[in-house]
Amino acid sequence: MSTTAVEASRRRTFAVIAHPDAGKSTLTEALALHAHIINEAGAVHGKGNRKATVSDWMEMEKDRGISIASSALQFEYLPEDQTGEPYMINLVDTPGHSDFSEDTYRVLSAVDAAVMLIDAAKGLEPQTLKLFRVCKARGLPIITVVNKWDRVGREPLALVDEIVNEIGLQPTPLYWPVGEAGDFRGLAHVAEDGEVDQYVNFLRTAGGATIAPEEFFSPDEADAKEGDVWETAVEEAELLAADGAVHDQELFENCETSPLIFASAMLNFGVHQILDTLCEIAPAPRSRDADSRAVEASTSAMDDHRDVDEDFSGVVFKVQAGMDRNHRDTLAFMRVVSGEFERGMQVTHAQSGRTFSTKYALTVFGRTRSTVETAFPGDIVGLVNAGSLAPGDTLYSGRKVQYPPMPQFAPEHFRTLRAKSLGKYKQFRKALEQLDAEGVVQILRNDLRGDAAPVMAAVGPMQFEVMQARMENEYNVETVTEPIPYSVARKTDAASADVLGRQRGVEIFTRTDGQLIALFGDKWKLAFVEKEHPELTIEAMVAD
């Protein structure tokens, strides 16, 4: 096995995804705490006076206590019962708010597995359901974590039934709760044969700021210690096992089952069990299919994918500016897909055919940066001064490869944007260009409105707030927005644009990537135009 393949085998790259306020950032910090990367968790006092977590770096995130942008953390971790080389963990914390689901979807294209958090009291919420379905559709293995078990919540078997009934994914318990929601005493470990073979009892620490000590008991010792509470946990776990809910690696990787763990990220209960499970069963980086349409000169079937131990290639899944106020640079987050990345190597930008220098390459821990010399498949690398890169771009060396582009979501909210002061127009244009490239919003233009008042198109209205806040904080440009009377966007072409543009309640724009976009007043107007002009090109903007 090549060095690259060996290095890839110890990588675990995953995203933490869920509905807002399910505890994603708190879990992210708890995982870093258990890997001994930080000494004390930041999210320990509740949102009223909580510290900012290491993965939340934007001022709006700190003010509101929510994650607005995805962030990447990389650290090594070795389970206590193992020896040898530690695993390299690449963890991506994602925004849970539905207004930022496009950022989350991009992250899902860059990871090999997902940790899905479910609030013990709320169960499957709308955004959770949506993300579960996206992961399953993309073949992304899911580990389910029921969080906040230290608070009053639902019955554990009811949560399992809900997952099965709502999304057809069978949870397979690995660690079942001892004690009902609100009385979290510990976890019963479920072995491969479905038998409960160990009790892990947790001891609370002050505010959950440090790693919770653990005590281990045999089933007989647990029965003597916990009595009826232990018996109930064993009966429930064995009932599920008897019904076939036992972990099977092949079914897990085929997204038919989902290993299940109960935890409290706030108290650090069950956190190292989550890390150990990821190391043990989450898939290592694998080959990735290429976009064969983009490599037309290819005569080899090998060009349909790229194996991990071939020439270097990577995919940019996020571009972010403003992470460091001391450096006005742009950072592109790249997932290494194949080969060995070396800082300073000259690579090719597949979309333009131009060379790209990687002299300034970083690993990123929240907002903290450190230089990276080498990286392997599965690693997340930050490329500095990457203004020419956009989400979905491919970088490669050697044999050409280009991976499929990332889809853009259909926007549902539209507002014009202009600078308050005409004297700030130059800064306004620069900020607009940068934030558009990052995908904060989609920017639409036409001759009628001009460059001074482009239209912002967004999945959710909070994206407009982020756009304005970042323009002011990072570029010193105050802006004004105004609503426009449209609520539906569709793709069109040049042959149809002229007729569409003459319809009342329809306006034609050009997106930055050159795509023509038709905006309609509402869905009824869209239906009317489609009925009256079936010959026109009016295509839905679909993410998948």
**For residue 385, what is the DSSP state?**
S
**How far apart are alpha carbons 208 and 303 in whole angstroms?**
50
In this structure, are residues 121 and 152 in contact, taking their beta carbons and an 8 Å threshold?
yes
**How far apart are alpha carbons 132 and 101 in whole angstroms?**
13
Burial code (b: 16+ CB inside 10 Å, e: under 16) for 507-522 equals: bbbebeeebbbbbbbe
**Known binder of ligand: residue 366?**
no
Q: Which long-range contacts (CB under 8 A, 24 or more apart) does 452-456 make?
A: 452/418, 452/419, 452/425, 453/416, 453/417, 453/418, 454/416, 454/417, 455/414, 455/415, 455/416, 455/417, 455/484, 455/509, 455/519, 456/414, 456/415, 456/416, 456/417, 456/481
**Known binder of ligand: residue 168?**
no
**For residue 264, what is the DSSP state?**
B
* Other CB atoms within 10 A of residue 285 CB: 25
**For residue 251, what is the DSSP state?**
H
In this structure, are residues 393 and 439 in contact, taking their beta carbons and an 8 Å threshold?
no
CA angle 537, 461, 142 (to 5 degrees): 85
Amino acid identity at 283: P
**Known binder of ligand: residue 97?**
yes
**For residue 297, what is the DSSP state?**
T
Nearest C-alpha neighbor of 198 from the set 217, 184, 213: 217
**Known binder of ligand: residue 36?**
no
**Known binder of ligand: residue 103?**
no
In this structure, are residues 101 and 127 in contact, taking their beta carbons and an 8 Å threshold?
yes
Annotated binding site: 93-97
Annotated binding site for GTP: 93-97
